[in-house]
Amino acid sequence: MAERGGAGRLARRLSLKISVAGVRGIVGESLTPQLVTSYAAAFGTYCGAGPVLIGSDTRPSREMVKHAAIAGLLSVGCTPVDVGIVPVPALQFHVRKTGAFGAICISASHNPIEWNALKFIGPDGIVLRPNQSEELTDLYHQGFYPRVTAAEIAETRLDHTVLSAHREAVIALIDAEHVRRRGFRIVADCTNGAASLAMPEFLRALGCEVIELNTDMDEPFPRNPEPLPENIGGLCTLVRESGADMGIALDADADRLALVNELGEPLGEDCTIALAARHYLKRRKSPIVVNVSTSRIVDDVAAEQGCAVYRTRVGEIHVVKKMIEVGAEIGGEHNGGVILREVNPCRDSFVGMALLLESLAEEGRTLSELRGLLPHYATVKAKVECLPREVAPYLRALQQLFAGEQMDTTDGLTVLWPDRWLQARPSNTEPVLRITAEAPTEHEAEVLVREALDCIKPTL
């Protein structure tokens, strides 16, 4: 459904977003070199003097942001390690592999190209937890950093081993020879992002014939980098025309994975975690952790295997934290993120690809047949530009509208019925309120979303 709210009325006022997802903003407007340098100095202070990895996606602003971040790290005695353009899961894996003190990922993920961001990763390869993010923000606001003298400034190092190390670790998860025998033909759409080199190499290492789409890292994003069905029409067409077994679309930093079946039909991002979980839980019983915005398909998949489902607030760190707490080996998010702790405590599109390909190889099915084994729910989404002070009144209005129904306030407000749900929650990455409904049919989901939107008409 269409975006609601005054066109662009918050664009300038709220273009800087600080949350558990990091610090992101519009370059030249709210994300300035001065801010990046100061935040990097704060992060270096938080990590301590030692090696800190820096990787990025392909946004044209990456060089400015990277060098500003390097300056901040050097100023407090850290040794920046420039790993170049890499998928964020590969960067997170490399932190633990090399014993780095932390990492900064320069990527605004699914945001448009004018945005960029700093994503802060701790020495355990996990994005900073909420309390750690608060500590970092406090350091930034205080502005008192242990600056080093000219003689103490380190040199920036280079490391070009990130992609191969991560690739080998993920492939070791599965029966690679079984996958190679299937000889899949796959269209790989990398949106000219961070996985433009890594994804084709990964698939070819698994014996796939790869048809590359949008894999030129020197070109701008050819589409909205968020791999939603409405943004990957070119991939769907090429899958049909080429007779491919499937299409795979990633976002700019390659933590999210969307699938297109052999008929050229997008499956929707919720199917990614559901299919990965179905395959994994068949061979290893484990609780599964997802966020409150994830489809009930996951509950159905887990129930088949007798496994418990836990739900958290939206945000990778919340899911990972809960996974550690309950001993879950697998988790993920509604946006196509798959987390497998034995490889990486983060959303990793390569892990998702590996589990999917192994599942297809073992079962001898097509992707459409595999999807047909899952229940079907229709999802409708909308978003509304929203000031922080407007969130609480709107949620109260929704509570009044649906008084008497079952409600969950883990993240925003979710109204629950036996066969459907409606959710309104503030975004972690944009100045908007996200409205989502899931129901047996698209019409029923649309009705719920329209009811929610009608609640705030007087404020628009």
Helix (H) and strand (E) counts for the chain? 15, 20
Query: CA gyration radius for the chain?
Result: 22
Pairing of strands 246-250, 185-189: parallel
| Torsion angle of the four alpha carbons 119, 120, 122, 125, in this order, in degrees rounded to the nearest 10 | 10
Token couple for 430: 């944009």
**DSSP helix/strand/coil, 321:** helix
Token couple for 307: 């496994």
Catalytic residue among 61, 75, 109, 359: 109
Which residue's structure tokens are 């990277």? 66
| Beta bridge partners of residue 18, listed in sequence order | 23
Q: What is the 3-state secondary structure (H, E, C) of 191-224?
A: CCCCCCCHHHHHHHHCCCEEEEECCCCCCCCCCC
Enumerate residues 6+ apart whose C-beta is below 8 A from 12: 29, 30
Measured distance CA(86)–CA(119) in Å, rounded:
13
| Beta bridge partners of residue 54, listed in sequence order | 82, 104
Of 219, 405, 441, 251, the residue nearest 333 (C-alpha): 251
DSSP 46-102: HH-SSEEEEEE-S-TTHHHHHHHHHHHHHHTT-EEEEEEE--HHHHHHHHHHHT-SE
Q: Which amino acid is at 356?
A: L
Of 295, 328, 289, the residue nearest 312 (C-alpha): 289
Which residue's structure tokens are 């590359």? 212
Of 48, 35, 285, the residue nearest 148 (C-alpha): 48
Measured distance CA(64)–CA(348) in Å, rounded:
27
Measured distance CA(190)–CA(222) in Å, rounded:
10
| Torsion angle of the four alpha carbons 279, 284, 290, 295, in this order, in degrees rounded to the nearest 10 | 40
Token couple for 183: 């000889």
What is the 3-state composition of the chain as percent helix, strand, coil, each rounded to the nearest 5? 40, 25, 40
Residue 293: active-site member = no
Catalytic residues: 109
